């Protein structure tokens, strides 16, 4: 067992931290106020190759493995999380389907431009009546005159309004349901019959947009099927599985930043004639925050590493998503407490982290769904014959 972080990973961390803290953080307040990530940040991120981190080199990306991507998302988690959400959705669930399951033709068509950030990706599974119960999809795709025709409504789609290519899940055979009846499609924003619906007003993640996607007789060429017809649900689970690990990494990054902010603030804030860091009540919170964060970090790294070595990590990636987002919830709550009134004010970044943290226990699979996945795996692994 070797826990050494390689030189490349250290260099990656060092440089992405620089980008997060010197380029994004100074604009964090502006992003919050305008609900928009400044163009210069997007341009710089493109120049760095961040949009292509997960896309293989032969399609113009950097083809980083999961551990490397975790380091990047962890560092980006230290600042305004609208940007990391946009990027995480694009490099994760928004492109994984095309990278791993699509035909060579689709890969050639989309990946080189997704790698540069010219095309933005999104993943559309969720519907008003199919959230945690993703098998209850209503969106349908029918084959008519050699084209797939999609009808239905997706909602809560991260990157919805800005996406150019969307991995869309639709029912192709109602009788089979989730077992062979769902298919994944690559839908371009300018396909006839596609439109963006209501853009949601969110609690946090400013600058990252979430919207409805409307499909009204939306025509999709047959070659835009991702993977096999009828394998959509299994593919969706695979796509979500990896996204969970990098989302965990982002939670770890935010938690770690909060530990640093709190430890600093506690030494500067004087009450009763001494820094509040001298009080055991505060010290215990700092110790809990740091310990939990460290545990979440190594669960994340270990799972990413195992996935990079070919392990399917279905149970483990759910553990990462569950644990890291729950740790962040505890850490960010304590962070507000350590900062007292200041933690509630927009003047300090704690309030922003608090709002941005809440969604991590919900999207890309709620905590409860993660527990169901973990328990189901356990019950299979240790099955007792009746």
Stretch binding other proteins (CB under 8 A), from 4-12, 142-150, 213-221, 324-332: 4-12
Residues of this chain, 48-87, that bind other proteins according to CB under 8 A = 48-50, 52-53, 62, 64, 72
Least CB distance to other proteins at residue 11 (A): 5
Find the catalytic residue in 22, 219, 364, 381: 364
Query: E strands, 103-193, where?
Result: 121-124, 140-144, 147-158, 165-171, 182-188
Of 34, 43, 47, 274, the one binding other proteins (CB under 8 A) is 47
Q: Give backbone dihedrals phi and psi of 199, rounded to 5 degrees, phi first.
A: -90, 125
Query: Are the C-beta atoms of residues 38 and 207 closer than 8 Å to each other?
Result: no
Bridging pattern class, strands 121-124 and 165-171: parallel
Least CB distance to other proteins at residue 349 (A): 18
Q: For the packed helices 81-91 and 232-268, what is the interaxial angle rounded to 10 degrees?
A: 160
Residue 165 β-bridge partners: 121, 188
| Interaction of residue 277 with other proteins, rule CB under 8 A | no
Q: Whole-angstrom Cα distance, residue 202 to residue 355?
A: 10
Convert 304-336 to b/e letters by CB count within 10 Å (16 or more is b).
bbbbbeeeebbbbbbbbbbbbbbbbbbbbebbb
Bridging pattern class, strands 194-199 and 274-275: unpaired
| Interaction of residue 307 with other proteins, rule CB under 8 A | no
CA dihedral over 2, 375, 135, 359, signed as positive or negative = negative
Stretch binding other proteins (CB under 8 A), from 10-18, 117-125, 274-282, 373-381: 10-18
Between 72 and 134, CB nearer to other proteins:
72
Between 65 and 103, CB nearer to other proteins:
65
Between 103 and 116, CB nearer to other proteins:
116
Q: Please tell me the count of residues contacting other proteins according to CB under 8 A.
A: 19
| Interaction of residue 338 with other proteins, rule CB under 8 A | no
Between 8 and 368, CB nearer to other proteins:
8
Of 11, 143, 287, 345, the one binding other proteins (CB under 8 A) is 11
Token digits of residue 352: 């922003």
Between 63 and 197, CB nearer to other proteins:
63
Q: Whole-angstrom Cα distance, residue 210 to residue 15?
A: 29
Between 52 and 92, CB nearer to other proteins:
52
Least CB distance to other proteins at residue 19 (A): 5
Of 44, 116, 151, 263, the one binding other proteins (CB under 8 A) is 44
Half-sphere exposure (CA, 13 Å, Cβ side) for 216?
6
Between 222 and 264, CB nearer to other proteins:
264
364 as an active site residue: the answer is: yes
| Interaction of residue 264 with other proteins, rule CB under 8 A | no
Least CB distance to other proteins at residue 62 (A): 4
Query: Are the C-beta atoms of residues 110 and 119 closer than 8 Å to each other?
Result: yes
Stretch binding other proteins (CB under 8 A), from 44-52, 203-211, 256-264, 315-323: 44-52
Q: Where do runs of H (alpha helix) occur along the chain?
A: 7-18, 28-34, 39-48, 66-76, 81-91, 96-101, 104-116, 232-268, 280-308, 314-339, 350-358, 367-381
Query: Are the C-beta atoms of residues 320 and 303 closer than 8 Å to each other?
Result: yes
Least CB distance to other proteins at residue 16 (A): 9
| Interaction of residue 19 with other proteins, rule CB under 8 A | yes
Of 2, 7, 39, 145, the one binding other proteins (CB under 8 A) is 7
**Residues making contact with other proteins (CB under 8 A):** 7-8, 11-12, 14-15, 18-19, 23, 44, 47-50, 52-53, 62, 64, 72
**Residues designated catalytic:** 364
């Amino acid at each position: 067992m070797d826990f050494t972080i390689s030189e490349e990973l250290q260099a990656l961390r060092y440089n992405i931290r620089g980008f997060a803290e010197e380029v994004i953080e100074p604009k964090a307040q502006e992003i919050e106020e305008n609900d928009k990530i400044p163009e210069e940040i997007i341009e710089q991120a493109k120049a760095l190759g961040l949009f292509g981190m997960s896309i293989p080199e032969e399609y113009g990306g950097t083809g980083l493995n999961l551990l490397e991507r975790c380091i990047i998302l962890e560092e980006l988690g230290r600042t305004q999380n609208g940007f990391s959400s946009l990027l995480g959705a694009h490099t994760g669930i928004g492109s994984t389907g095309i990278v791993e399951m699509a035909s060579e033709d689709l890969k050639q068509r989309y990946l080189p431009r997704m790698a540069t950030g010219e095309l933005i990706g999104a993943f559309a599974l969720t519907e008003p009546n199919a959230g945690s119960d993703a098998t209850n999809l209503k969106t349908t795709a029918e084959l008519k005159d050699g084209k797939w025709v999609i009808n239905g409504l997706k909602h809560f789609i991260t990157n919805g309004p800005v996406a150019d290519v969307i991995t869309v899940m639709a029912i192709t055979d109602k009788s089979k349901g989730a077992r062979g009846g769902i298919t994944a499609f690559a839908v371009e924003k300018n396909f006839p019959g596609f439109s963006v619906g209501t853009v949601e007003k969110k609690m946090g993640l400013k600058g990252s947009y979430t919207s409805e996607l409307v499909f009204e007789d939306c025509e999709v060429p047959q070659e835009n099927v991702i993977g096999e017809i009828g394998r959509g649900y299994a593919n969706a689970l695979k796509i979500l599985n990896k996204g969970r690990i990098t989302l965990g990494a982002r939670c770890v990054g935010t938690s770690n930043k909060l530990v640093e902010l709190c430890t600093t603030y506690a030494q500067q804030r004087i009450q009763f004639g001494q820094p509040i860091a001298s009080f055991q009540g505060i010290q215990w919170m700092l110790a809990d925050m740091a310990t939990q964060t460290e545990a979440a970090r190594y669960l994340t790294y270990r799972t990413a590493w195992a996935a990079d070595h070919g392990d399917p990590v279905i149970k483990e990636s759910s553990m990462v998503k569950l644990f890291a987002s729950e740790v962040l919830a505890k850490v960010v709550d304590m962070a507000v407490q350590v900062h007292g009134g200041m933690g509630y004010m927009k003047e300090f970044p704690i309030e922003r982290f608090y709002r941005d943290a809440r969604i991590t226990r919900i999207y890309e699979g709620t905590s409860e769904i993660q527990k169901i996945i973990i328990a189901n795996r356990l019950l299979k692994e240790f099955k007792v014959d009746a």
